[in-house]
Homo-oligomer: A and B are copies of this chain.
Amino acid sequence: MIIVLKPGISKQQETAVLKEIRSRGYRPHVMRGVARTVIGAIGDELTHRSLETLTTVFPKIVESVMPVQKRYKLVSREAHPANSTVRAREHVIGGKKFHVMAGPCSVESEKQLLKTAVAVKAAGATILRGGAFKPRTSPYEFQGLGEKGLKLLAKARAETGLAVVTELLSETQTEVVAEYADIIQIGARNSQNFQLLIAAAKTGKPILLKRGLSMKIEEWLLAGEYVLANENCNLMFCERGIRTFESYTRNTLDLSAIPIIKKESHCPIVIDPSQAAGRADLVAALCKGAVAMGADALLIEVHPNPAEAWSDGAQQITLDGFANLMRELRPLIHAAGRE
């Protein structure tokens, strides 16, 4: 920790601060600058008691306290310099092969799901997405088919060989979701629901952790740390747009998250353009950007008839649209050095 003192501090005041720092288990180190005195407090910030309250204890003496260490460990590149990979059935995400996860926003019926699954598989997708439990802003909106939806996902998997990713909404449904899912998705609204993260982690299943609407990169990495700290190293980060002042798109897709996660962490990074844009007409362009920037996978909402979708119809693309998109992405995937 770095403690910056205000200008014009007396020797006596400084001594009081030094004493307090020592009493909290740190070794202080004084640097007298031109305009201010700065104290380095030497000790492990993760295990010692924090010094951040010094601004409250000494409001007239201490100007600011700045942490030096990063707060995340297990998800960091430092902890694991090589890329880590996540296996879902026979599919390995984070390696040479680029993956596309596709499917409807909500599982609605066997016909809708199977038709979609067959089509996305044919177009090149390897993983089927589909919501069985749906978090909805309004209590009056469709909340998902529940376990029946999970069973339909399992059926689609059996028929197509696609792996299944689906969202876990509630600790009380952990067991049933883990039974059917190959990858458990933690949604943006639950990205700091730490009890849910712990419950999901303990299943040992791969976790797809969406970034919260107003989550800083550091907070996202720390949410991921909850997964690894609970002995599950099968973690993928998924950027799906952050909330900004712009209202043309539903959210602003922060594609810079790709190189940042690659730099700070060893875990794979997946991009969800559908939730970000909230409108189908921008999905293709966002996918292209994500591929070129080094994403490991895409998560795309596809529906046989978006107009009839029970949720988020405006952002789902058609089966034909998806097939076209896959064709357009191919040269970019190769240009990005992927298969």
B-binding residues in A (CB < 8 A): 2, 4, 7, 20, 29, 31-36, 38, 40, 42-47, 50, 52-57, 59, 66, 68-69, 71-72, 78, 135-140, 169-172, 189-190, 192-196, 212-214, 216-219, 222-223, 225-226, 229-230, 242-249, 252-256, 258-260, 263, 276-277, 279-282, 284-286, 288-294, 306-309, 313-314, 316, 331-332, 335-336
Q: Are A245 and B31 in contact (CB under 8 A)?
A: no
Other A-B pairs beyond A242-B246, A245-B245, 6, CB < 8 Å = A33-B68, A56-B314, A140-B225, A242-B252, A243-B245, A259-B286
Known: A249-B256, A254-B246. A33 touches B43 (CB 8 A): yes
Specify which chain B residues have a CB less than 8 angstroms from the CB of A50 in the assembled complex. 313
State the CA gap A35–B260 with chains docked (Å). Answer: 22
Q: Is the CB of A68 within 8 A of B38?
A: yes
In the complex, which residues of chain B have a beta carbon less than 8 angstroms from the beta carbon of A193? 189-190, 193, 196
Among A44, A138, A196, A282, chain B packs the most CB atoms within 10 A around the CB of A138
15 contacts between A and B (CB under 8 A): A36-B69, A38-B40, A53-B308, A55-B279, A57-B307, A135-B194, A136-B194, A139-B222, A170-B171, A193-B196, A218-B248, A244-B254, A332-B332, A332-B335, A335-B335
Q: In chain B, what residue has the closest Cβ to A188?
A: B192
Complex contact B216–A246 (CB within 8 A): yes
Residues of B within 8 A of A286 (CB): 255-256, 259, 293
Contact present for A247 and B216 (CB under 8 Å): yes
> Which residue of the partner chain, among B59, B137, B230, B336, contacts A222 with CB atoms under 8 Å?
B137
Contact of A139 among B138, B225, B249, B285 (CB under 8 A): B225
Other-chain residue from B54, B138, B172 in contact with A307 (beta carbon distance below 8 A)? B54
Q: Which residues of B contact A254 (CB under 8 A)?
A: 244, 246, 252
